[in-house]
Structure 1
Amino acid sequence: MRTIRVVSRRSQLAMAQTKWTIERLRAAVPAWEFEIVPIVTQGDRIQNVPLSEVGGKGLFVSEVEQAIAQDHGDMTVHSLKDVPADLLPGLVLAGYPERVEPRDALVSRQNLRLADLPQHARIGTSSLRRAAQLRAKRPDLEIVSIRGNIDTRLQKLELDGLDGVILAAAGLVRMGWDDRISELLAPDICLPAVGQGVLGIECRATDADLIEVLQAITHEPTRTAVLAERTFLGRLEGGCQVPIAGYAQVLPTGAVSMTGLVATEDGRRVLRAHAEREDAVSAGQVVADDLLARGAAEIVAQG
């Protein structure tokens, strides 16, 4: 008998993801109990400033990690796209349930696709990565920076007079709001963030029993794809201040297909690379090194 304390942000999506994960863990270890420890992070408190100006996505992660490191909780469930390449020392990502939809979604007021939006349409997003790729495809669009939880950003579609917003499709799917999606953006239009659509479960590296259970609910192709993507991100030493995207898939042959992207914020320079390798680490490294050799290092340094 053991009680696992699961640290979670208070947002609707974070709670939904945490409860979904707890259901899987209860099925795996019926003798264990689980309790949720709610937390409000700095990223939740600061809503009126773009993430890239106040420390990046790590604002959602660092306080949660500190709670686990200081034994105020045992594990947490992240949207993996929010987790920086480097974890707090002593912690480990030990569980990866099967990835859901990795693509970005356009939710538009008139249910229009991206190509059909009128000239100079106003599109809301909280992501430099999305903004840069949208500017590259549709330079006429007016990109409006929006913050807030997924439900808040959907409300801003009407309240702020936007023509559309771009969100991770996975969040809409997990909330049961996928009927709001006007278009799933193909990766050649908007390559996803590293880890997008994946839940990453983090715990202390010394918690062998919990790690064993988390590995039991891990989907191996997802874990392999994530390893390639996060290797790519770590090689670039990238964070939230530069538009970086990366998406890997495990092919039927077992090889790993990896695509990566680095762009300037204005979308005028977009570097993209692709590789297929037999192992995930090599796939991530090769794509990152290709981009670095072609000028990505300069772009990342400017961020």
Structure 2
Amino acid sequence: MEKLVIATRRSQLALWQSEYIKAKLQEHYPDMEVELQEFVTKGDKILDVPLAKIGGKGLFTKELELAMLNGDAHIAVHSLKDVPTKFEEGLELGAVTKRFDARDALLSNKYASFEDLPQGAVIGTTSLRRRMAIKLIRPDIELLDLRGNINTRIAKLNAGEYDAIILATTGVQKLGIENEVKYFTPISTDIMIPSMGQATLGIEVTSNEEIKKIVSVLNDKDAHIESTIERSFVDTLQGGCQVPIGVKATILDDKEIRLQAIVGMPDGTETIKDDIKISIDDYETAGIELAKVFISKGAKELLERAEKVAFK
């Protein structure tokens, strides 16, 4: 192929990720031209309403998918946590890249940790998963919605609208803006379990064998194993992106994987949680099996109630 077109959002982080993939592809295919085609998605346009109320994270992928189906682009680069577990006909996940730091992070100009936050402190986050995790450890915290790109969110923190905000560690690190706030503190997964696929890039492709072969060089074995577990867990629960689900698979060695998962109400009043070790040989079914355990404990009913709260 002489030229490959990448569909990308216009946000600074999305462009960083697409440029990263472009550079990786050109390392493998120096004679192939790689071009970025920029799009503004519905999720980028609606900044005053929580994602849970307008359709979830799939709002960041639809325009890019349409461009591929129409032949205007060959692949799209996404944060894997934003990629739904089901694809439109004619599209599929072509590769997942080496995982960056999957933890969430606390950003503040006054406080270095959750322990340091005063009673009734105000934290900015719209994520129902993060809200649940915060309420579990600090029920006194006041939570306010926070939308916009990373720079906008940090600007709101620096303007004094919040005592702290929660962002994905990897996004802040990729843009090199850790020093724009006084305290940048990654949060242990023991406290806040990440979203499925967090800190991994997913390369979406059309069902074209040539394109699939081209991007296959980007697939990272460990990230593939971890994301397969996480995505199958969420898919089996049929929870989607608009309910509080955290799941993190961590390869410990060539034999074992740690699997952490939680579902619950956004206010943390009810949760189902587990932290187990599994054989790496069972990675293709591990997420499904753990989801079945959660379902037997009432996870689907719990998530249905959580979804109703999210859409109020």
Give the Å deviation of 1:160.
Answer: 4.9
Equivalent runs, 1:286-301 vs 2, <5 Å? 286-301=289-304
Structure-2 separation of matches of 1:280 and 1:47: 37
Question: 8 Å contact 1:259–1:287 — kept in the other structure?
Answer: no
Whether 1:168 aligns to 2:168 is yes
Query: Which residue of the partner structure matches residue 68 of structure 1?
Result: 68
SS of aligned partner of 2:297: helix
Structure-2 separation of matches of 1:177 and 1:295: 41
RMSD: 1.3
Whether 1:182 aligns to 2:184 is yes
Whether 1:196 aligns to 2:179 is no
Equivalent runs, 1:1-303 vs 2, <5 Å? 1-179=1-179, 180=181, 182-206=184-208, 208-275=209-276, 276-277=278-279, 278-302=281-305, 303=307
Structure-2 separation of matches of 1:172 and 1:14: 12
Q: TM-score, normalised by structure 1?
A: 0.96
Question: 8 Å contact 1:257–1:283 — kept in the other structure?
Answer: no
- Count of paired positions: 302
SS of aligned partner of 2:298: helix
Structure-1 separation of matches of 2:297 and 2:258: 20
Structure 1 alignment gaps of length 5 or more: none
Give the Å deviation of 1:210.
Answer: 2.2
SS of aligned partner of 2:189: coil
Question: 8 Å contact 1:99–1:198 — kept in the other structure?
Answer: yes
Question: 8 Å contact 2:78–2:204 — kept in the other structure?
Answer: yes
Please identify runs of 4+ aligned residues in structure 1 that moved more than 3 A: 178-181
SS of aligned partner of 1:253: coil
Structure-2 separation of matches of 1:160 and 1:18: 32
SS of aligned partner of 2:176: coil
Give the Å deviation of 1:159.
Answer: 2.6
SS of aligned partner of 2:115: helix
Question: 8 Å contact 1:106–1:184 — kept in the other structure?
Answer: yes
| CA displacement 1:3-27 (0-9 Å, x = unmatched) | 1111000000000110011000000
Question: 8 Å contact 1:256–1:279 — kept in the other structure?
Answer: no
Question: 8 Å contact 2:111–2:117 — kept in the other structure?
Answer: no
